[in-house]
Amino acid sequence: MTLRLLPYFLKQALVSMKNHRVVYLIGLGTMVVSLLIPISFSVAFTNLNAWIQEWGRGLSFSVYLAEEVNESKTHAIASHIRALPGAEITEFISKERAWTELKRTLGSQAGLLEGLPENPLPASFEVLFKDSPAEEANPQKIKRMLENIEGVEEVQYSEEWVNRFEGILSLLGVVGLVAVGLLSMAVLFIVANTTKLAIYARREEIEILKLVGATDWFVKTPFLLEGLIQGVLSGLVALLVLYSGYLFLSARKVQFLGMPVMDFVFMPKEHVLSILALSVILGLLGSLIALSRFFDV
Amino acid sequence: MIQLFHVYKNYGPNVALNDITMRVDEGEFVFVTGPSGAGKTTLLRLIFGVERPASGHIVIHGINLIRSSRHKLDLLRRKIGFVFQDFKLLASKTVLENVAVALDVTGQPQRLVRKKTHQALRSVGLADKEKAYPLELSGGEQQRVAIARAIVKEPLLLLGDEPTGNLDPDLTKEIMMLFRSIHMKGTTVVIATHSRELLEDTVQRKIVLSRGRIIEER
């Protein structure tokens, strides 16, 4: 088969798609929806990953002070903390403020605190370690450094939280892969059936082509091109729909679990290309499956 | 040249062809005749390679159809023109496209395809109907489109299965004139017909079939 015939095959494929546009549009719509699900997973996965990494980079610690620490001692501790590499005190929460905030959080149940003889809450510093060198960014090491400062009673950081999110992320990855597998099969089924309908609609033409000496590949190629076009179009439309959604969300600052979320990111280029490649492969494979039933490939 | 050696063909329990041995020389014009159900269409379909015999051998221009691959049969079919009783034209395509399809499958450049298609349509007197659709034409015109499609590829062999079966006597004469002029250019022609009128005053060889057997050759 020569490349010279490509314009002929392309014309045949496009004319057929135009003549059976309703069937193709329904197939295309279903394929777009099927592809949108795994693509959405990919975007969600990319963003969650980026956010978690960002949180990991900016390690945040709560440094609780001992009961007996007075104001001058508190200043000394603050100087000590600032001297640590990459450390920045974002907030100081005095005993009184901690008490007021606890009462506000409890709201109507604040009466529970009335029986207490005195304010048991410690004063604390919120400390953020940003852009520390990799070897210094070890949360356990930083925790130990903070605990060694005289007057510091306890240090807490968001390790557990980050770890939990990383667990959720791995689970999402597995669910995403399963979804891609199942939905790929659905897409294959859709393309195979659309091609089958196209073959039925053109069976008379196929018979005549065979009678005038067309080879099997001459008959099959336009159908394969239809599958390929359907695959490319559905991949492009699905990506476009998702990109519009991404632009819409990016324009708004979304909050996630009460925390302001960093900027949204779209999929990396490699993911976009993989999705397009997957759509093309599924389109071609679906057509081949349908054709194999008619031509004993 | 067409050669058949002890060819049998059956459809389930029904025997369509029974021990057929025959030969048609290059450039010959032959009629295959006999009543309906005698096996004429089956014989032509076997020669055309769209069906395979139960046993026996069929050799067309030195190619044994029984031993040939599907691909080789596809290529052989490009050298054989077939005119069907029901025309087998595509209603959704123009006259020009219906005829051009026989060349499109060979992969020739479109410029050449157009040129040869115009010539074929001119030779059957339909040059002015190129853009018409088959359903806008009379039965005789549709049959001429089918003939144009069969001859556009300049076949070595032209097969006609009751090519005048649906036509009135005047149109029948016209179509037969066409077949004779194609034959005059050196193409081997085999026509299957049960029409007695068609066979009157013809000097060509006739093979008479009955119940799947050759009962007479004259």
**CATH code, B185:** 3.40.50.300
Beta bridge partners of A87: A129
pLDDT band at A137 (very low <50, low <70, confident <90, very high): low
Q: Is residue B172 part of a domain?
A: yes
Same domain, A151 and A175: no
B101 contact residues in A (CB cutoff 8 A): 208-209, 212
Residue A256 burial (10 A CB sphere; 0-12, 13-18, 19+): exposed
Alpha helices per DSSP H over chain B: 40-48, 70-77, 95-104, 110-123, 139-151, 169-184, 196-199
Residue B185 burial (10 A CB sphere; 0-12, 13-18, 19+): exposed
Nearest Cβ partner of A215 from B74, B79, B88? B74
Please say if the pLDDT value at position A133 is more than 60: no
pLDDT of residue A136: 55
| In contact, B14 and B160? CB cutoff 8 Å | no
Same domain, A139 and A72: yes
pLDDT of residue A142: 80
Interchain pair B90, A205: CB under 8 A? yes
For testing contact with chain A, the best of B50, B71, B105, B151 (most A CBs within 10 A) = B105
Please say if the pLDDT value at position A259 is more than 70: no
CB neighbours (10 Å) of residue B141?
18
| Total domain count, chain A | 2
Same domain, A194 and A235: yes
Chain B nearest C-alpha distance from A216 (Å): 8
Q: Is residue B119 part of a domain?
A: yes
**Average of pLDDT values for A28-45?**
82
Which chain B residue has its CA at the smallest distance from A208's CA? B88
pLDDT digits (tens, 9 = 90+) for A78-126: 888 888 887 888 889 888 888 888 888 877 777 777 777 788 889 999 8
- The whole-angstrom separation of Cα A95 and Cα A100 is 9
User: Which of the pair, A234 or A176, is modelled with greater confidence?
Assistant: A234
A82: domain CATH number?
3.30.70.3040
Q: Is residue B53 part of a domain?
A: no
Q: What is the predicted ipTM?
A: 0.87
Same domain, A114 and A98: yes
- Per-chain mean pLDDT for chain A: 81
Chain B nearest C-alpha distance from A198 (Å): 15
Interchain pair B74, A214: CB under 8 A? yes
| Total domain count, chain B | 1
Q: Number of helices (H) and strands (E), helices first, in chain B?
A: 7, 10
pLDDT of residue B11: 93
pLDDT of residue B7: 96
Same domain, A216 and A265: yes
Q: Residue A133 belongs to what domain range?
A: 57-158
Q: Is residue B69 part of a domain?
A: no
Q: Is residue B90 part of a domain?
A: yes
**Average of pLDDT values for A176-182?**
81
Largest Cα–Cα separation, chain B: 50
pLDDT band at A297 (very low <50, low <70, confident <90, very high): very low
Q: Residue B81 belongs to what domain range?
A: 25-41+77-217
Same domain, A134 and A223: no
Find all residues with CB under 8 Å of A101, minimum gap 6, and list them: A93
Interchain pair A215, B105: CB under 8 A? yes
Residue A272 tokens read as: 């976009």
Rg for chain B (alpha carbons), in Å?
A: 17
Same domain, A284 and A170: yes
Q: Is residue B190 part of a domain?
A: yes
Same domain, A151 and A290: no
Q: Is residue B210 part of a domain?
A: yes
